[in-house]
Amino acid sequence: MSLDTADLLDRFLRYVQIDTRSDPASSDCPSTPVQWALLRLLERELRELGAADVELTDHGYVLATIPSTSPATAPVIAWCAHVDTAPNLPGAAKPIVHRAYDGRPIVLPDDPAQTLTVETTPFLRDAIGQDVITASGTTLLGADDKAGVAVVMSAARHLLRNPGIPHGKIRLCFNPDEEIARGMTKLDLAQLGAQFAYTLDGAERGEICFETFSADAAEVTITGVAAHPGWAKDVMVNALRLAARFVAALPMEKSPERTSDRDGFIHPIACSGSAEHAVLRFILRDFELAGLAAHHAMLEKIAAELRAAEPKARIEIKFTEQYRNMRYWLENDMRPVRLAEEAARRAGVTPFAQPIRGGTDGSNLTQRGLPTPNIFTGMHEVHSQREWVTLQDMQKSAETLLHLAQLWASGAY
């Protein structure tokens, strides 16, 4: 489809140098001021490309329109990608392009302990001959999800410069805070104005996802009994010790370290406090609601046992719904999934479906009534210093979007 891969690469390399980490402790939207830098850049670039209806909302959503070029009436579709990166590592990458990767180990120069090899890195062998992009070893690359951002921008640029390609109205949406499960909570669906949508936030080439975890968060607050440690016998109840006992009571077989495929997990992500007051935070994940309920029950059981062991302590649990498995809705109308699969085939890619051991903004959108499967971008080893992507996989993702736009306009649905 003669996509401009030089433009695609240039965009990706520029975007990943902007630190856009989100912050789960912040109640703002976006949760961090640094995200505004990329959001404002995208707003400006979309205006320069000639997109219509470009706006940056008060909550940090960049919206725009690629006007229809088809005489036929087609559903309005949306392409979405999130600008934030995970909070666990710095996000201002120094990207390195390993041209025509030859299969030898990739040693990241700023931390040589961070090494990618075909023996230990899934899918890297498949990338031999391609242009592999990494960071330098001490930061995220940010392919999650700046690969998606670059793919959407590249596909939008191609359609705006080639009005002879028939397609319906396409809405674009770049959003903050996906990594903290709040990516679409402030988006006005009427303002977006789409009937179907796609997130560009997937992994290996050909992956078309319509199933994600269902997710909740849990916060356990433990209030002990204060006393001077010199005279604490039979008086003090140490909240930190109870917090440690709470975490130790979790079965390892329910941890992320010991689960895969369709297994759910309970994952402690933070512990803070003092001898008098401690807070534990968890994320709970399962593909089925019954499994999620079982995770709730396990935490409640541990809390009850600790209350019985230390009746002077106060232990409280607060559960917060984050997102739900989008399969529950998409399986009732698989048209957007089937068209994405056919678009991938037309781009020369073999599509496949697999559940995501995580969530996407599509989980929220689908639950709210906007069917939103997820399309691959080629990102790998995300949330780590070893994160990588290939230019060729991003190219195939963008070509999939171009074919997808034409399929919706053709009436193939």
Question: According to the model, what pLDDT value does residue 355 have?
Answer: 92
Q: Is 84 a catalytic residue?
A: yes
Reading the block at residue 294, the tokens are 């079982």
- Active-site residue, from 131, 144, 178, 381: 178
Instruction: Report residue 156: phi and psi, to 5°.
Output: -65, -45
Reading the block at residue 13, the tokens are 């390399």
Which residues does 202 contact at the CB level (< 8 Å), separation at least 6?
A: 208, 209, 356, 360, 374, 375, 376, 377, 379
pTM strictly above 0.75:
yes
Report how far apart, in Å, the C-alpha atoms of 221 and of each of 243, 272, 273, 278, 294 are: 9, 10, 10, 6, 20
pLDDT tens digits, the chain, 413 residues: what are they? 689 999 999 999 999 999 999 999 999 999 999 999 999 999 999 999 999 999 999 999 999 999 999 988 999 999 999 999 999 999 999 999 999 999 999 999 999 999 999 999 999 999 999 999 999 999 999 999 999 999 999 999 999 999 999 999 999 999 999 999 899 999 999 999 999 999 999 999 999 999 999 999 999 999 999 999 999 999 999 999 999 999 999 999 999 999 999 999 999 999 999 999 999 999 999 999 999 999 999 999 999 999 999 999 999 999 999 999 999 999 999 999 999 999 999 999 999 999 999 888 999 999 999 999 999 999 999 999 999 999 999 999 999 999 999 999 998 77
Q: What's the rounded Cα separation, in Å, for the pair 255 and 395?
A: 36
Cα dihedral: 266, 270, 275, 277 (round 10): -80
Question: According to the model, what pLDDT value does residue 1 have?
Answer: 62
E strand residue ranges, 241-392 = 265-273, 277-286, 314-323, 374-376, 388-390
Q: What's the rounded Cα separation, in Å, for the pair 152 and 156?
A: 6
- Active-site residue, from 23, 84, 201, 361: 84
Reference 299, options 279, 316, 276; nearest CA is 316
Question: According to the model, what pLDDT value does residue 71 have?
Answer: 87
Enumerate domains of the chain plus CATH numbers.
5-212+325-410 (3.40.630.10), 214-323 (3.30.70.360)
Question: According to the model, what pLDDT value does residue 183 have?
Answer: 95
Q: Is 178 a catalytic residue?
A: yes
Place of tokens 């996000």: 91
The answer to whether 223 and 236 have CB atoms below 8 angstroms apart is: no
Q: Characterize 362-399 residue by residue with b for buried, 16 or more Cβ atoms within 10 angstroms of its Cβ, and e for exposed.
A: bbbbbbeebbbbbbbbbbbbbeebbbbbbbbbbbbbbb
The answer to whether 271 and 310 have CB atoms below 8 angstroms apart is: no
The answer to whether 202 and 326 have CB atoms below 8 angstroms apart is: no
The answer to whether 122 and 387 have CB atoms below 8 angstroms apart is: no
